[in-house]
Structure 1
Amino acid sequence: MHALTYESRALRGLPTEEIHNILQTATKFNSENDISGCLIYHNQQFIQVLEGEKEGVQELFARIRLDSRHKNIRLISEDTIEERTFPRWGMAFCPLDDKEASHSEVLQFRNNMKLLYDFSEPTSVTVRIFWKKVKFLISQPPN
């Protein structure tokens, strides 16, 4: 098994419906290719961890790099893992920038992410780095 974490920046003005399209495509592809992970979007910033067989994860990351809806794509970490941190998750997602979310919903999501971070026991350096980046990202005020 293999894990990979990357970050990128959405193009300015990327509509929420386009982010939902990304999620829908990712969920379908990941399910069909036995890839799991978690995708967080906040302040036009994506951070994602992918888990699965090495070849599949690397092929998916190559496809992600070609996606014109984001830029500044940076591989943060990748390594071999014994088990998945996100089993049976095609993709977890919360659009913190969603204008329809109330202030209390955003705060609740941030608190839930912090709890997940605090209680998770990352099984690899890559997943540990993912959670630290998520914790930093969600602590940032909205743009």
Structure 2
Amino acid sequence: MTYTLTYESEIVEPMDSHEMGLLLEQSRSNNKRDNITGCLIYYMGGFIQVLEGDKAKVLDLYEKIKLDERHKNVHMFSEDDNVERSFPNWGMAYYPIDANTTNKSEFEQFKRNLLLLADFTVPKHLTAKLFWERTKFLITNPPNNL
């Protein structure tokens, strides 16, 4: 069994797809090394992430995220001990949505698909359930700071 937490935050400065790609590459490598799995949603300046793994390693990563200058308003809203992983084979999924290059219908389809995924996923524990609920909230109520 494992430890899991879910947090949300807002981005300080918008990232372009190259910057996001570099961040994901580094994070995937570190998470693989530390056997941390989960799911990251980044939408319109808001992050929601669930992290799963060894408690000490997950909490250490969360502390680094709280100190990361790219994040603000970091808030953990759920954690669970001794649970089954909800994302055992996930590093960090990423689908690039760029308002400058993505047409409106593709963007709307992405939102619908993410909302459907949130609705039809059967969470294995409370933290995963809250992750999907907050994801739906983020998609329907994005931060207004960008």
The alpha-carbon deviation at position 30 of structure 1 amounts to 0.8
Give % identity.
45
Q: Distance in 2 between matches of 1:40 and 1:74?
A: 15
Residues 29-53 of structure 1: CA deviation (Å, up to 9, x unaligned): 1111111111111121111110111
Residue of structure 1 in register with 2:91 after alignment: 90
Whole-Å Cα distance in 2 between the matches of residues 142 and 121 of structure 1?
27
CA shift, 1:68, in A, is 0.8
TM alignment of 1:63-82, pairs within 5 A: 63-82=64-83
CA–CA distance in structure 2, aligned partners of residues 23 and 81 of structure 1: 27
- Residue pair 2:46, 2:143 contacting (<8 A) in 1 also: no
Distance in 2 between the 1:95 and 1:78 partners? 28
In the alignment, which residue of structure 1 is the partner of 2:8? 7
Aligned position for 1:29: 30
Query: Residues 72 and 95 from structure 1, CA distance in 2 versus in 1: closer, same or farther, beyond 3 angstroms?
Result: farther
| Structure 1 runs not aligned, ≥5 long | none
Residue in 2 that maps onto 1:102? 103
Contact in 1 for aligned 2:45/2:142 (Cα 8 Å): no
Tell me how far 1:22 sits from its aligned partner: 1.8
CA contact (8 A) 1:39 1:91 kept: yes
Give a deviation string over 1:32-83, Cα, whole Å, max 9, x none. 1111111111121111110111111111111111211111111111112431
> Partners of 1:5 and 1:108 in 2: how far apart?
26
How many equivalent pairs are there? Answer: 143
**RMSD, aligned α-carbons:** 1.9
* Unpaired segments ≥5 residues, structure 2: none
Deviates more, 1:76-85 or 1:27-36: 76-85
Given that 2:13 and 2:70 are in contact with CA atoms closer than 8 Å, whether structure 1 keeps it comes out as no
Q: How does 1:17-56 map to 2 (within 5 A)?
A: 17-56=18-57
Q: Distance in 1 between matches of 2:131 and 2:100?
A: 25
- How much does 1:88 deviate? 1.2
Answer whether contact 2:9 2:46 (CA < 8 A) is retained.
yes
Structure 1 residues 96 and 138 mapped into 2: Cα distance closer, same or farther (>3 Å)?
Answer: farther
After TM superposition, give the deviation of residue 141 of structure 1 in Å: 6.0
Scaled by the length of structure 1, the TM-score of the pair is 0.89
